[in-house]
Structure 1
């Protein structure tokens, strides 16, 4: 067998996938962990939301810079120092908060956590895409890439649900500081292990020198076909942040805000299951249509959540919301995988990841301020607005695709088009 005849797992090894999955958990835990810790220590949902927003601002500032640095210098040189620094900062944050530090110092510490966030999820996807394109034969690439995108998106969604769920468990069973401290340990160990895994060298060494230098200009990443995906992911992040913070306020009014992480984890039951099942959907159910269909489910269930006035109703709606948000996120990242410009996969993926985290943090800040003013019902309405935004952006994406197809037909020379009498209707 030649190298191109072997499967992707032959090139990565089985151990790569659990390492890559655990390495993304600190990123998924930090916004919720910061919110939970600050609210538990200070009793202020508003300050907790602002601190989460500081994390998101740090992520969105550093994310594109990290992605561009990885595209230029490789993952190992960038991720090893980031993983170590981020782990140290996460471990120090509980000390800062519990010591009664001034609010500006708490916010600065949270921003530093966001600035050093490694975004292992985006790096995993980018690494696998590079190995597929460089090491697999042409006939195996499309199917393998499709499966990888489905798996990676489902893993992202699972991590973003398991992360808050773990925060709730660790905070309830151990202490409110425990989730952030554990996230720091995971970053130190598993982000570093991910960065040093041999698959990173394989992805880099597999490219010829000329290919290694070939990168699309940054302007290609800023085209509407990419920006609409960033905006859609931003909408999903708004949904996550508004749901978590309004749920925190709802649980706090019921007696214990720490339990919000456990309630939030219920959304992951249907979300993770359906996200993993997206790979089984027929190819004729196009990604652009999946975006619209699942966004409708998300909007309707979010409306039901806003109207819920009992714990039982909230639980049911959280389960239904998971059926919409998981496949929507899978679809967005799958489209991004197909549209990433040449040599800009890490930049594209970190843009989406940064948008998701920034929106989650900003929504937490706004929702927290509204909830702290006594408007818990209004706070529970905000996820509906976020879901409607995702639905509207799905329509915008559909319009962009139609415009691109029309432009492509117009560019096709008339002589190269099929003769009408020989075209078979399908």
Structure 2
């Protein structure tokens, strides 16, 4: 496999248009959670409150995301997306107003829930379009490209948020994130030619396909991956502030995302003889080891080596996981399958964000990194357990 494979994928009819549209929207999604941390912390001065609001956002996304994906499977992406993204715009405006006014904590959490419950699952929608457009043997390369898109989003998104927050404009990050999500969703809805056919999921009884053991292990892995990301976002930001260098948070996020982008790109340049389950287990073990430097780092430069190691491991977990998910479920419920994996990640992020916020306020940034390390060890254990499944 070579880089020509990626180019050939984008030359498929309509592929470049929907893929690039979702890339822009996913940058907004990647910004949203961290932008809420900056927004709420700037107003309240508490990482606990910021973690609770971010957690409420993630829980709502986890619960509502698969239901929105099911609507897309049943009624079609072009009919479902426009009302979803418009409601999301209203929800984000409501959250900004609540934070600005300074309402009680619980009401701010409600605002986070409204924003999370209306965010479209652009990654799942894009994956479903690839599955409808390509032959089965070309899907692994397409999912590798999807992972690169996600890594690009998490390269630029957190950097933009951290830059705006450190510059004294935390609300601007939330506004920009919502703008990218809404515009990306509306542009995707306008592309009718590549939209997968609607109505198939209702005939296939999706629950039976999604409850298979192999898919449940993947859901657990994504739950822990979300926990890792949720705790790292708060911990890295807190670490930078503890050392009086808030601006270094952007550099640390850039280091992690660049490492992930490089690893994901190189992964897709060749065909691997190792089974995806073994790839997943090896990468998960590497992530667990890579978390160790962050537990003892005492400067942003030392932390940079740790986030680089973990960044290298993340795409090597996500790409084999996507390949295994496509094999584990029926094609007609693939949108929902990817949405459930995203929801598992969001649920993990919710719990870890709240836990990391408490750990940071109580023990400092290293307490938050302990939460992230714990999540990485859970990933390794689940991936090892998945080796036994047929």
- Do both proteins adopt the same fold according to a TM-score greater than 0.5, normalized to the shorter chain? yes
Aligned residue for 1:164?
158
Residues 1:118 and 2:120 are matched in the alignment: yes
Change (3 A) 1:382 1:85: same
In 1: Cα distance, 2:29 partner to 2:10 partner: 26
Q: Which of 356, 362, 374 is the equivalent residue of 1:367?
A: 356
Query: Which shows bigger deviation, 346-355 or 214-223?
Result: 214-223
- Kept in 2: contact 1:172–1:258 (CA 8 A): yes
Q: Aligned pairs, how many?
A: 383
Q: Which of 193, 199, 220 is the equivalent residue of 1:231?
A: 220
Aligned residue for 2:377?
388
Superposition pairs of residues 18-417 of structure 1, within 5 angstroms = 18-132=20-134, 141-173=135-167, 175-201=169-195, 203-204=196-197, 214-255=203-244, 257=246, 259-401=248-390
In 1: Cα distance, 2:240 partner to 2:277 partner: 36
Q: C-alpha displacement at 1:259, in angstroms?
A: 4.8
Q: CA RMSD in A?
A: 2.1
SS of the residue 1:24 aligns to: helix
| Deviation sequence 1:67-115 (CA, Å, 0-9, x none) | 2111111111211111111123223422321221221221001000111
Change (3 A) 1:334 1:53: same
SS of the residue 1:243 aligns to: helix
- Kept in 2: contact 1:59–1:117 (CA 8 A): yes
SS of the residue 1:373 aligns to: helix
Aligned residue for 1:3?
none
- Kept in 1: contact 2:31–2:177 (CA 8 A): yes
- Kept in 1: contact 2:27–2:177 (CA 8 A): yes
Bigger-Rg structure (1/2): 1
Query: Which shows bigger deviation, 88-97 or 177-186?
Result: 88-97
Query: Which shows bigger deviation, 165-174 or 119-128?
Result: 165-174
In 1: Cα distance, 2:141 partner to 2:180 partner: 27
Q: C-alpha displacement at 1:261, in angstroms?
A: 4.3
- Taking structure 2 as the reference length, the TM-score comes to 0.92
In 2: Cα distance, 1:254 partner to 1:40 partner: 18
- Kept in 2: contact 1:170–1:179 (CA 8 A): yes
Q: C-alpha displacement at 1:365, in angstroms?
A: 0.8
SS of the residue 2:16 aligns to: coil
Change (3 A) 1:364 1:262: farther
| Deviation sequence 1:105-144 (CA, Å, 0-9, x none) | 2100100011101010111001110122xxxxxxxx2442
- Kept in 2: contact 1:169–1:262 (CA 8 A): no
Aligned residue for 1:422?
none
In 2: Cα distance, 1:352 partner to 1:290 partner: 18
- Kept in 2: contact 1:31–1:361 (CA 8 A): no
- Kept in 1: contact 2:14–2:193 (CA 8 A): yes
| Deviation sequence 1:280-308 (CA, Å, 0-9, x none) | 24331221111111112211110111121
Q: C-alpha displacement at 1:257, in angstroms?
A: 4.8
SS of the residue 1:101 aligns to: coil
Change (3 A) 1:251 1:7: closer
Structure 2 alignment gaps of length 5 or more: 1-7
